[in-house]
Structure 1
Amino acid sequence: MRLILLFTALAVGLGLAVMASQTPTPRPISTPAEVFSAARAMADVREIARAPHPVGSDDHARVQAYLMQRMTALGLAPQIQTGPLSPRAVQRMEREGRSAQGLAAANLVSVLPGRDPDRPAVLMMAHYDSVPNSPGAADDATGVAAILEAVRAIRARGGADRDLIVLLTDAEELNLDGARVFFAAHPWRDRIGAVVNLEARGGGGRAMMFETGPGNANTIADYAQATGAATGGPSSNALAVFVYRLMPNGTDFTVAAAKGLAGINLAFIGRPDQYHSPAATPDALDQGSLQHIGSQALEVADAWLRAPTLPQATQNAVYADLFGLTVVRHPPVAGWALLAIAALATGFTVWRVRRVQVLKVGAVLRGAADGVWLLAAALVAGQAVRV
């Protein structure tokens, strides 16, 4: 009977893992205009990611010209903001056997006007350069295409209260130089009240909201409310933010967060063999991932564009999505209280067992080994599902 219960629990756990790891079905071109459509966004992905387009290459110039044309077609008036490449970026190019002579970071910047330009604006941001050996369909043609599709959907929904600033940064792959140039010198940088950044570190999987600005309790509340079933559901937890900040990695959002701005950073990390790889082609991209990241970005940005106030830095929240259905969140003090209750329950259990029967060290070690084995098996099974 105990084995039956064990394997039943494992089967239920595996089923929940399968459910929680699914990407939403990509929406077709016939999707209503106000809804995000991966099929519509894929047209831009295919054009951007025809070939690798690192800074200084002919294809980089091709992508830049294409995006200027696309932004204009969406009713935007794009500008090119240029700024110097950092010494670190120049060194990286030289290590790759490329010359940085005469090159600069060239951001594409525009604004979709709202009804009240005096209110703090919302920024949507992604980078349009790639590494030299990858067409970059995921990193970051997906982010750029998702923003273009989101702009189209926001326009279809009617005028918003706030301005939407669209920033397609350059030289992110070198040293986040485009974002550094924008936040250091662009006259619109002081108008921004919240940021939505789109990234990728793979070619598939659910899009996780893996980083926020400081004091994120209000941001998490807004994210939880905006990412309902129509977006494919939320995917985020506070542990991901904690782990990410311990890693030596950065995205354009790193620069924005350092300025104290509220916001969210979205990315998917499945199919890791496509990260900075020749395999990162449009045909290899999981279009469900594009649907998920684009839908989340659209709904959060649109909610902020129409909100009376933007999220302010207060306290940090402890949070996690519940099987991609909703976000459970609470203040840190509640987490400490739960840990205290767990410690007391564990102590009571040990005391009770010792009273009923002799608690031997060998039995404790065998129980611990069983627990480790069960966790390891769960990790293997979960990874098998992801693959």
Structure 2
Amino acid sequence: MTLTHEDIVALPKVVLHDHLDGGLRPATIIELAADAGHDLPSTDPEELAAWFVQAASAGDLTRYLETFAHTLAVTQTEPSLRRVAREAVVDLAADGVVYAELRYAPEQHLGGGLSLQEVLDAVHAGLAEGVAEAAAAGRRIRVGTLPSAMRQFDRGAEIAEVTLANRDRGSVGFDIAGPEDGFPPSRHLTALRTLREANFPYTVHAGEAAGLESIWEAVQLCGALRLGHGVRIMDDIELGTDPDGELFAALGDLAQWVLDRQIPLEICPQSNLQTGIAATVAEHPITVLRDMGFAVTLNTDNRLMSGTSMSREMWALVDEAGWTLEDFEQVTLTAAWNAFAPNQEMRVIIAEQIEPGYAAAQSGDHSHDGHRSEES
């Protein structure tokens, strides 16, 4: 079937890699900045939105990360964190997301005097409000958080402890984020050992700005259950044509390991274009990796900085790389089965929302969209 924009928006979606501080509404930033006395590049919502995308498109991860100075400046209080978390859930639900994992670094929200626990309390309260608001609009969404340790700092053990203290209050996993080059994930082995001993899952940003060494450390030294981005695994894959003209892929040992163990790749195409991993969606490794059988998931990374949404990510793959409904069902189910929420909960989401939503899309019946609540 030929997918339309309406079809894509209606599809039930799962996002595993979405940064809370990278998904603020421009109008909200302007209001919060006025309250905080923070200067912005523009106080017009459309101009500010365009500025974020342009500033994040320098082709360099370090420059990309500099845009967060503005979103972090306006999220240093309990009310601002609650509001941003609530709005993130509402926006994701409106885009058809039925399960989301939102990651953020609590240590970056202490400038207003909050403690780490108070940061988590504010975010979890906002998420609960967002879930309720989405439900009132007829959209059912489950959201968990992944508190992140910033790899360039030394608070990993502390962040791991507060994350574990909230494992029954909304935190479903843990993440290591921040500038990849020069800050290997192995700097936080103590934190990761604490999490492993507590049987708590975590992912690690790797294979975005840095290459195979970063991925190897994340997988082999750190024991990451998923790879944040991970697209530089292509550096360990040789693509070519045999004498008969058939395409082939020769995998190195690390790529083979990641493939054989189906370690999920949290791929974010639009963000990757901005940081120079590929020039176009058609050239992006996501399609080749999918075709080779890697555990590919599709994600937004930072909706504000990339001017994106799950629907936009999907539409670009349809328009430029020829993806089909079946392809999206495959990556959505891969994401769902590799979510950090309990398996029992994901089974319900798959059975009650994802599978019916894709069946409805196949039949062309949007009255049974999988993200709708039973009451709607």
TM-score, length basis structure 1: 0.28
Determine which structure has more spread, i.e. the larger CA radius of gyration. 1
TM-score, length basis structure 2: 0.28
